[in-house]
Amino acid sequence: MSKRITQIPFPGSSGQTPTGAMQFQNDWPALFVRVDKAVALLHSIRVLQERLANHLDVDVVLAMLRLGEIADTIDRDVIVRSERA
């Protein structure tokens, strides 16, 4: 398991945690994205990266860099892959 994944025991969980806002005690709220939604988000970001690769607007370039970081995290740490020895 990746060191980037934080597992949270959820005693009494009633099943799947939905995509949406999540907050742990007094920490700031965060966005939880289930893997099924994350895969679609990853695809959307990669499409935008491809189509906007040569964009000249600095705001678009910076936005794509931030989205690229999210896509990389999804690709590296979220998508479930079989582990092969």
Residue-level pLDDT, tens digit, the chain, 85 residues: 456 677 776 666 666 788 999 888 899 999 999 999 999 999 999 999 999 999 999 999 999 999 999 999 999 999 877 665 4
**Domain range spanning residue 84?**
34-85
Q: Specify the pTM.
A: 0.78
CA dihedral 12, 79, 53, 47 (to 10 degrees): -80
Kindly state whether residue 65 falls inside one of the protein's structural domains.
Answer: yes
Residue written as tokens 């910076």? 62
Kindly state whether residue 19 falls inside one of the protein's structural domains.
Answer: no
Measure the CA–CA gap between 58 and 50, rounded to whole angstroms: 16
The domain tally of the chain equals 1
Kindly state whether residue 69 falls inside one of the protein's structural domains.
Answer: yes
Measured from the Cβ of residue 74, the count of other Cβ atoms closer than 10 Å reads 21
pLDDT value of residue 62: 97
Measured from the Cβ of residue 71, the count of other Cβ atoms closer than 10 Å reads 20
- Residue 82 CB partners (closer than 8 Å, separation 6+): none
